Chains A and B, each alone.
Chain A
């Protein structure tokens, strides 16, 4: 689908970054008229999605889109190159932005939040930088927009302005900024000093003869420098960011920001190191097991959390490490699974967050222990929650099945049985911490002495309509991707060196 045929293909890249940016400016300009402001947000989101669709079209046709913006250093600067992995991430982020905008309108008004103009403005800015991250053609651009994303989301995290928000914001900015300056920038500069280039290239940019020890150190620096991937012990910022309003947690801290992290790791692994080179580094396995440990430990922590958003946050930490593990298995199938997990986890987790927000708006409940019997009051929300939860666990017929499938095959292909075991145990843990919530909501025994009465629509008290629409769309999305994953898989198979076919055949 291409509505933008009249436009020079490479200009689509600048459009995809400029459209949300201009959207942000218009949001400020129309701040006094909320309806117009929200209309602008929605229009911008839809226009952006159509642009990304057009870019997808070109990518599937094999047209390469490139754009060189400016050279900051001689021969090195901000440039954009469209490649399939970035397109996948851009598709996910821009599509879910539309849904989240619908949701946010319902949520922010339902919750009577203050400073809504600032909120929608920063939101659009964050999306703008996410688009720039998606299409970055070299590590410098990626690093720059990674930082811009951190800074533009900071006002969203501290939106409430109270002590908890301040404390959360401090942790958020502290960890993300310091890891990126101390480790990521160091890794970028180290890479530059070894190779003399920072361009993403198929098969990596390092030479066969480069010192493996130094490359190993660089890999560790990259993994921890990209703090947004939330590998333990640098995961604290993500639970801290949960003080933000729920739409932020939903889109940014389940999709855009955290996925920008794991996306960067995949980019570095595929286009800077190259999967073949990665196999030969000593530290790959170390980071792989740290990732595996993150999966299990954060699942265990999630179980102890009674606050629903906190539980979901730790669940996200755990799921992000699926992608990290997939990338570090250095197998083409695992990398495909990791890329697919960006999309499948996104729809699943955003559904869960939407439900958490809906519960907060409609019944002002934050803690899981208070949600007993909530299925009667909020049946639609709780059904959507169940769907999202099953998708995260990775059971058919939900989207999460496929990514877990490919990750497991990848682990087998790489001959790492222990990772297979970790993935399986993690699925069990997911069941243990996610499913009790809908079970409590639906199948709770009624209090002593109370008559069993048949459920009727009259007793429902659902969240406002925009919220319901949003969470229905994403939960249907979980189902759709299960039955119709082919477009995503086609896109993933275009990534050089990555393939859903075992042993790279196909």
Chain B
């Protein structure tokens, strides 16, 4: 009986658990409970991925109402892959947060943190597996509202303005998506994604549908922080508590990228979006600018969290670039990078959180001399940093390899060159931090005995991600298989011709 309902569990579990975590009241209790629930939904996601890879699409009618009238949940190779990544990261972050939030969030708000985290997780998984366009908006709002709360939990008062800014931008984005979905509904009379896809086909030249497309693309672009709509992201990531940043950086924007892929490929059809509307060029241009501009911005920041935040925006550029190549390899590169970037940024932000835990600051100056004081944390930071740069034997190399291969497949040597040159900027911004950690002395006024390694509950999830960075960089069979079958599935499913020059 449970197997039948497997698809709904990743949403239901955290959604029901969220209020319970609040009721439990005690910080430690709700931590254990939230971690358990998150681990469970991670396990369920794994089962779903296995099922999706072997059986194809799993469909689930919520409340027994069949689609297109009821809400349908659809699990396929593409979203099961992202789903697993999101729930795994969530579990690791929750393990990590027990000690981390001690220093960053007031004691009284701890249960609130776990509740909001679970709600956010429920929203994100909902976005991933729902088959209904309006329902997607609902889950998007659930996750976003939870996110605004999470960001504002920081002890630094600037987190309030950051959260407010995020709230304003996020709401604009959500509203745009809602308007877009409304326009689609107006023309087609349906909200089920597959139903929409089959009907949109008849109205493709209609102005209403194209306006809807424009609203949705802009709305999603705000959510995924595509340049130049990324301005909310750096302050939010900088001032949110470290555990929150680690979670958001490796999941929230990735899920938004997924939403964009889903709208383009499943609902509108890549042929219409790219070949007729020419959006691939717009996306490609923005992605390239994002890579260069934001990587450059990352090199001049003094707050390490801001550095990594700008780096995130740049990395999102790589994902969108993969999508804009309109080929199986390109899309696969984008999907793999969603997963791989989650591993890198998760580890990096956790390491930064560990530094805050001991030093109380994440300014680049605070990293001085930490190579000796916190060897494990800084080693984790170094490996994850090398992964961002794209050094071989890390996941970053795999992403870059597929992205450049995808560009070269189309003889697009320019893009290939830009991707590689862009990654040089990562050498600079990661290098600056490593130099401070390994080559500068601990400031005179700091007592070396207070700056030591963080508790193992923080180190363990950090290193789990670091090891994943290396493991999936060497044995790529799992990620490659999942991403390539997802990409092929997305392409075949709406009979789009690949662009080939």
Contact = CB atoms under 8 A, between A and B. Distances in A.
B431 A182 contact: no
Interface residues of B, number: 30
Contacts of A151: 386, 391
Interface string B426-466: 01000100010001000000000000000000000000000
Contact of B435 (A144, A166, A177, A189): A166
Given A181-B420, A181-B427, A192 B405 contact: yes
Given A72-B398, A181-B420, A186-B416, A193 B431 contact: no
Interface string A166-182: 10011001100110011
Contact of A193 (B386, B389, B392, B405): B405
Contacts of A143: 392
Given A151-B391, A186-B420, A193-B405, A73 B476 contact: yes
B424 A186 contact: no
B439 A186 contact: no
A475 to B, nearest CB: 37
Contacts of B400: 185
Given A73-B401, A186-B416, A144 B427 contact: no
Contacts of B485: none
Interface in B401-426: 401, 404-405, 408-409, 413, 416-417, 420-421, 423-424
B421 A182 contact: yes
B424 A178 contact: yes
B480 to A, nearest CB: 7
Nearest to A163: B439
Contacts of B431: 170, 173-174
A182 B435 contact: no
B235 interface: no
Contacts of B391: 147, 151
A177 B427 contact: yes
B390 interface: yes
A496 interface: no
Contacts of B416: 186, 189-190
A79 B204 CA distance: 51
A186 B404 contact: yes
Nearest to B475: A70
Contacts of A192: 405, 408
A341 to B, nearest CB: 29
Contacts of A158: 439
Contacts of A74: 480
B474 interface: yes
Contacts of A161: 439
B427 A190 contact: no
A72 B474 contact: yes
Given A72-B474, A186-B416, A174 B408 contact: no
B351 to A, nearest CB: 18
Contact of A70 (B386, B421, B474): B474
Contacts of A144: 392-393
Nearest to B438: A158
A72 B476 contact: yes
Query: Which secondary structure dominates chain B's binding surface?
Result: helix
Contact of A181 (B390, B398, B409, B475): B390
A71 to B, nearest CB: 8
A182 B480 contact: no
Nearest to B390: A181
A73 B333 CA distance: 13
Interface in A334-373: none
A70 to B, nearest CB: 6
B408 to A, nearest CB: 4
A181 B423 contact: yes
A71 B398 CA distance: 12
A147 B392 contact: yes
Contacts of B424: 178, 181-182
Contacts of A148: 392-393
B408 A190 contact: yes
Contacts of A174: 427, 431
Interface in A34-54: none
A181 B435 CA distance: 20
Nearest to A169: B439
A177 B386 CA distance: 11
A181 B389 contact: yes
A153 B350 CA distance: 28
Contacts of B386: 151
Interface string A70-104: 11111000000000000000000000000000000
Contacts of A177: 389, 427
B404 A189 contact: yes
B480 A185 contact: no
B480 A190 contact: no
A178 B475 CA distance: 25
Given A151-B391, A181-B420, A189 B398 contact: no
**Looking at A143, A147, A170, which has the most chain B CB atoms within 10 Å of its CB?**
A147
A158 B435 CA distance: 11
B409 A193 contact: yes
Contacts of A181: 389-390, 420, 423-424, 427
B92 to A, nearest CB: 25
A185 B474 contact: no
Given A72-B473, A166-B435, A192-B408, 19 more contacts: A71-B477, A73-B480, A151-B391, A166-B439, A169-B439, A173-B431, A178-B424, A178-B427, A181-B390, A181-B420, A182-B420, A182-B424, A186-B404, A186-B417, A186-B420, A189-B401, A189-B405, A189-B408, A193-B405
17 contacts: A70-B474, A70-B475, A72-B474, A151-B386, A170-B431, A174-B427, A181-B420, A181-B423, A182-B424, A185-B400, A186-B404, A189-B408, A190-B408, A190-B416, A192-B408, A193-B408, A193-B409
The 4 closest A-B pairs by CB, nearest first: A193-B408, A144-B392, A189-B404, A178-B424
